[in-house]
Amino acid sequence: ATMDIDIVSVFPDYFEVLNLSLLGKAQHKGLVQVEAHDLRNWTHDVHHSVDDTPVGGGAGMVMKPEVWAECLDDLLHLAPVEDASTLEKPETPNEETVLIFPNPSAPLFTQADATELAGKKHLVFGCGRYEGYDARIPEYYRLQGVDVREYSIGDYVLNGGEVAVSAMIEAITRLMPGFMGNHESIVEESYTGENALLEHYQYTKPATWRGLAVPEVLLSGDHGKVDRFRRDEALAKTTRIRPDLIEALDCHALDKKDRKE
């Protein structure tokens, strides 16, 4: 496969859904290979416990570093290091493999991240549960020279990382060359490209439905006018819904007609 994806979770069955739809097809085509692993397989105690109480007190449980490390050492083919505090973080981490932890208190996962990760050979996702995972887990692998990322998928708290990982995998894999039948459909999307706006509204046939007509210019056959209309609509929509995206735009990307708005 062009990309191998390993997922670690205490609910690996959750990822059965990845065999459906386009991602299922991509796996069939050999484009990507996804494997979900049960974290509890790396435990040694009869209760298969993966969590413990928080040091410093407080509610809930925290995922233990020992179990995670035995699992991740296997998936990343790394030998355990006795004293990681003596390691110096390498300047350039391994470029082919990325270890990703979903985390609501991390930077937001964006389309730009998805685009970058679509070019990697191996992605390993670690799904948190409970109050989250021991902070030394990502730190340890960074010290080992692994490219470790922590991402939030939005400003809300989920019960576990499974939903977040599914969302990230879907966003990443659909950008892989050969995944989509029609490559154009991913080039002209919201959040895509250097000067991304929200996409314009979409319409299909019939031209009038239950008394509602599609904007007339879309029926004109004049591509210049259609493009202009869509661009204006995208600008107006983005200004209204996501003014932060407008502020982030490079003003040189706006053409003269845009600036008049």
- Which stretches of the chain bind ligand SAM, using CB under 6 A? 102-105, 127-129, 131-133, 152-154, 156-161, 164
CB of 142 to ligand SAM, least distance (A): 17
Residues 6+ apart with CB under 8 A from 227: none
Pick 129 or 149: Cβ nearer ligand SAM: 129
153 annotated among ligand-binding-site residues: yes
* CB of residue 150 to ligand SAM, shortest distance in Å: 9
What is the number of the residue whose Cβ is closest to ligand SAM?
128
Q: How far is the CB of 252 from ligand SAM (least distance, A)?
A: 34
Beta carbon nearer to ligand SAM, 162 or 175: 162
d(CA 146, CA 138): 9
3-state secondary structure of 58: coil
Contact residues for 78 (Cβ-Cβ < 8 A; gap 6+)? 72, 144, 146
Residue 154 annotated as part of some ligand binding site: yes
Would the annotation count 100 as a binding residue? no
Pick 26 or 69: Cβ nearer ligand SAM:
69
How do beta strands 212-213 and 208-209 pair? antiparallel
Nearer to ligand SAM, 133 or 179 (CB): 133
Q: Kindly state the smallest distance separating residue 64's Cβ from ligand SAM, in Å.
A: 13
Instruction: Tell me how far CA of residue 4 lies from CA of 9, 104, 153, 166, in angstroms.
Output: 16, 25, 22, 15
Determine if residue 254 is labeled as part of a ligand binding site: no
Considering only CA atoms, which of 153, 152, 169 is closest in space to residue 114?
169
Distance CA 70, CA 66 (A): 6
Q: Which residues are annotated as a binding site for S-adenosyl-L-methionine?
A: 128, 153-158
Return binding residues: 128, 153-158
